[in-house]
Structure 1
Amino acid sequence: MAQYIIYFNQQWVGDHSEEWFSKRGPLANAVVEEAKDAGVYVFAGGLEEDINKAFSADATSGELVVTDGPFAETKEFLGGLTVVDVADDDAAKVWAGKIAEACGWPQEVRRIG
């Protein structure tokens, strides 16, 4: 078994109505429950959308510096993630597909470690 992170950037979500989003929540929750039932669920969660509430820790100078805001100024930022523990890339692709369909926006997948 291997762990995979399935994630999306907030900018991939797109502009949708409140009604559209309210219909996606139950679909996404159903996929999480399906992953739990299948024994592959490790973690899932959406991130705070206000990037200004982020903070960063950097020790590359030899001294720890903690600052308000994101580490890098960038147009895209992480919106949410799911971690699954599955047999292989093919299984990770299946779960990424389920999540993408439920959420209604693209997902990227990377193996952990």
Structure 2
Amino acid sequence: MTQYLIYFNQQWVGDHTEEWFRSRGPLARAVVDEIKAAGAYVFAGGLEEDGPIFSADATSGTVLFSDGPYVETKEFLGGLTIVDVPDEETARMWAGKIAEGCGWPQEVRVIK
């Protein structure tokens, strides 16, 4: 079995009404429940936009903690799901279901 990270950047979500987001919640939770029932679930969760956000950098030989994201960027991780599946085809299937449930694109990467 191989673990795959299925994730999205917050900027891929787009602008929607609160009602739209509330309508997507049950759909997204249903997909997570389906992943669990299939025995492929490792982890799933969304990330808080407003913090706390901090970074740890040890490249100087001493750990330096800084508030805020490490680099200035226009995109940041919004949420993720990790599945443990037998092949890429199954990972694609789950990514498609998550994309349909959430209503925005997902990206998939193998965890090594």
Measured against the shorter chain, the TM-score band is: over 0.9
Q: Which runs of 5+ in 2 are unaligned?
A: none
Alignment of 1:84-99 (within 5 A): 84-99=83-98
Aligned to 1:56: 55
Give structure 1 stretches of 5+ with no counterpart: none
What is the Cα deviation at residue 53 of structure 1? 2.6
TM-score in terms of structure 1 length: 0.97
Q: TM-score, normalised by structure 2?
A: 0.98
Deviations 1:58-109 (A, max 9, x none): 1111111111110110000000000000011111000000000000000000
Question: CA-atom RMSD, angstroms?
Answer: 0.7
Moved over 6 A (4+): none
Tell me by how many angstroms 1:49 deviates: 1.3
How many equivalent pairs are there?
A: 112
- Taking only the aligned residue pairs, the percentage that are identical comes to 73
Partner of 1:16: 16
Q: How does 1:1-113 map to 2 (within 5 A)?
A: 1-50=1-50, 53-113=52-112
